[in-house]
Chain A
Amino acid sequence: MKTDDRKYKGRIAEDTAAYYLEQQGYQIGYRNWSCRSGELDIIAFYEGTIVIVEVRSRTSDVYGTPAESVDWRKQKQIRETAEVYAHHKGQSHFPFRYDVITIQMNHSYQVVELEHIVAAFV
């Protein structure tokens, strides 16, 4: 798979996730907020809570589930980046939550299934 394909695939996944979240009543704050320590896919607001969402996509089962790929190291990176975000925006006093959205696609990059894990890790 070429790099362009990967980017395209990721873009579709994140668009779908954002659309889903809006449908659910979430307010999308930032997409792809990034700093030196990493990138946050979606930052949303929901009932006074800041929800940091990591989006993962897959086209086949061969390499394990996408939720599995959010391992301890990735979690640590997200936590650190979220800390930078909270500090930068002066939002440290808000409650935070980390969610994971996984998206299953077929080979023509059509979304088949979406899975939203609420408070996937802390």
Chain B
Amino acid sequence: MYGKLFSACLHGINGVMVEVETDLSNGLPMVAIIGLPDSAIRESIERVRSAIKNCGFTFPNQRVTINLAPADLRKEGSAFDLAIAMGILTTSDQIVLPDQDQILLIGELALDGTLRPVPGVLSMVDTARQHGLKAVLVPQENATEAALVEGIEVYAIHHLNDLFAGSQHDSDTKANQRVSQDHIESFRMSLPDQPEIKVKQIHAHSSPNEQKLATAIDDSMNKSKKKSDPRKMVILSPLRVQKVKKEHIQHPTSSMQEDYGDVFGQQHVKRALMIAAAGMHNILLLGPPGTGKTMLIKRLPTILPVLTDAEALEVTKIFSVSGRFKDSNAGLISVRPFRAPHHSTTVTGLIGGGSIPKPGEVSLAHQGILFLDELPEFPRSVLEVLRQPLEDHQVTISRARAVFSFPANFLLAGSMNSCPCGYLGSTHAAHPCTCSHSQIARYRSKISGPLLDRIDLQIEVPRPTEQDWQRAKEGTEDTGYDSASMRAIVEQAHQIQLNRYQHLDIHWNSELSGKWLREYTFLSDSANQLLETAFEQLGMSMRARDRILKLARTIADLENMEQIEAVHIAEAIQYRQLDLSNPMHG
């Protein structure tokens, strides 16, 4: 007897459809799961065996072969349990699942038949929809997450027996539910030329259904009874999950405690952060301890534009795959992620990996911010792996059997001191810098040239001066930007970019490259001249030149100007102060 059902597994952040084929044949009882399963799937048969028994069904005492196709894809995880159990039950004619070739089955089984949630449901359901499946059956805990995908019916169950809640065998099912004991019969038997002995018959793997059969067999008059059709009909309609009408994504400003209005002074830094947010340009803040570098970057999420629908789906998929998407009731993730890994992080932690690769911090920061506080404290080997994702906006991890790609389009925000003691450039007499030139050079060399080359905005955050304090005390200080006004400007610039690149696969100025970069950066004559002079005089790399062009594009967008003027180029160039200046000259 043969049956086929659909399930799915994860491959990178996307789901892959997997056909679960079940074949039952007579012979020595055994179970074989083939199709490159990992140990969690191999063990799944023991969960399925117990779950089937404890739901009042019989695990067939036959040769069971389960094939997971495509056979060349390595499969992992416990999400196949439900499909394997349903495959065995339908193939052994114990239940009937209507439209079984149109439904995706995902879920891990507990020994009593309860369904446990699995990670990555969003990606798997989305794949099922793309393959034209009509419905999906998931554990209750994953229901809201699955319902986020439009265009596919979602059914959810707590327990395997919920599937038959609407069927005519209702009372029967209830009675059978979670009744599982070894069926024991005791009697006495007399032996020839020996005393009478006690006999105990134990039906170890029997289910309540089988117990009935056993009694039926004992009572040989009732033998015909077991031939009656015992199949149960699965009725899905009562299990349907109502989809919530999708609201337009709102910026969750009200919930944010932090605001740029709290920061006084540092206007030039706020301006730089605004440019960074508007074009997703990388930014590095330098300065003495306690001047507010971390504070300024921590407020960056308050001015970022909201995620578009497509971006939100992508970000939510990444979080779902890595098992971090807990609150699916609120819909897709709408806030741009802000990831701040500690500097003890490993290469694998940062870019992802493992024998079955999982996304790392750079992918979790996709469409958001990756904040590396105290940049030089990170091991150099860890920082250098950032070079490739910073250019390609994705991480590719190769394994012998497969290649995984994780998106990693993030804004890199870093902070560091200017020298080991931290007080280089300090104007206050109490804190002179005590570092030697060689110490400073060694400290700065921790951030390699190629990495620095990829950071468009390098900004000094000085200690506020006496006058700044005075003005703050008098309340005459123009606090300038607060988060709301900055976000309004950023949103506007973002909208300009979305309109400009609507026919392309990109959304931000920082993603421009090659032909598109030349096409969308219109320089005035003076701007062009300035750029060429700077390129020669400062010995810039070609990449630095391209990056300055992109940055100038964003600066012009902030002013809603289509043509890039010399002032925009000049501002963009002066933001690269670290890799253009020599630290030896202060």
Contacts and interface: CB of A to CB of B under 8 A. Distances in A.
A95 B198 contact: no
B310 interface: no
A118 interface: yes
Contacts of B62: 95
B27 to A, nearest CB: 5
Nearest to B28: A96
B202 A112 contact: no
A122 interface: yes
Contacts of B29: 95-98, 122
Given A47-B217, A119-B61, A122-B205, A86 B197 contact: no
A61 to B, nearest CB: 15
B449 interface: no
A118 B27 contact: no
Contact of A120 (B25, B27, B204, B217): B204
Contact of B191 (A79, A111, A118): A111
B201 to A, nearest CB: 5
A114 B199 CA distance: 5
Interface residues of B, number: 25
Given A93-B26, A95-B61, A98-B29, A118 B201 contact: yes
Contacts of A23: 189
B206 interface: yes
A120 B28 CA distance: 14
Nearest to A48: B26
B195 A116 contact: no
A30 interface: no
B203 interface: yes
B514 interface: no
Given A98-B29, A110-B194, 12 more contacts: A79-B30, A86-B27, A86-B28, A96-B26, A96-B27, A97-B29, A111-B191, A116-B199, A118-B202, A120-B204, A122-B29, A122-B30
A19 B192 contact: yes
A117 B202 contact: yes
Nearest to A110: B194
User: Which residue, A20, A97, A115, A118, has most C-beta atoms of chain B within 10 A?
Assistant: A118
B198 A118 contact: no
B200 interface: yes
Interface in A8-55: 16, 19-20, 23, 47
Interface residues on A, range: 20 to 34
A19 B28 CA distance: 25
Given A23-B189, A95-B61, A110 B195 contact: yes
A92 B195 contact: no
Contacts of A82: 28
The 7 closest A-B pairs by CB, nearest first: A122-B29, A113-B198, A115-B200, A118-B203, A117-B202, A116-B201, A114-B199
A110 B28 CA distance: 35
Given A47-B217, A93-B26, A94-B26, A113 B200 contact: yes
Contacts of A16: 191, 197
Contacts of B61: 95-97, 119, 122
A43 B444 CA distance: 81
A119 B28 contact: no
B428 to A, nearest CB: 75
Contacts of A92: 26-28
Interface in B195-243: 195, 197-206, 217
19 contacts: A79-B28, A79-B30, A82-B28, A95-B26, A95-B29, A96-B29, A96-B61, A97-B29, A97-B61, A110-B195, A111-B191, A111-B197, A115-B202, A116-B199, A118-B202, A118-B203, A118-B204, A122-B30, A122-B61
A96 B28 CA distance: 5
Given A93-B26, A96-B29, A19 B200 contact: no
Contacts of A119: 61, 203-206
Contacts of B200: 113-116
User: Which residue, A86, A93, A95, has most C-beta atoms of chain B within 10 A?
Assistant: A95
Nearest to A67: B202
Contacts of B192: 19
Contacts of A20: 189, 199
Given A19-B191, A120-B204, A112 B26 contact: no
A116 B217 CA distance: 16
Contacts of A79: 28, 30
Nearest to A96: B28
A114 to B, nearest CB: 5
A22 B62 CA distance: 25
Interface string B52-94: 0000000001100000000000000000000000000000000
A39 to B, nearest CB: 17
Interface in B339-387: none
A114 B188 CA distance: 9
A94 B205 CA distance: 20
A120 to B, nearest CB: 6
Nearest to B202: A117
Nearest to B197: A111
Contacts of A95: 26-27, 29, 61-62
A92 B62 CA distance: 11
A117 B25 CA distance: 24
A90 to B, nearest CB: 12
B231 to A, nearest CB: 20
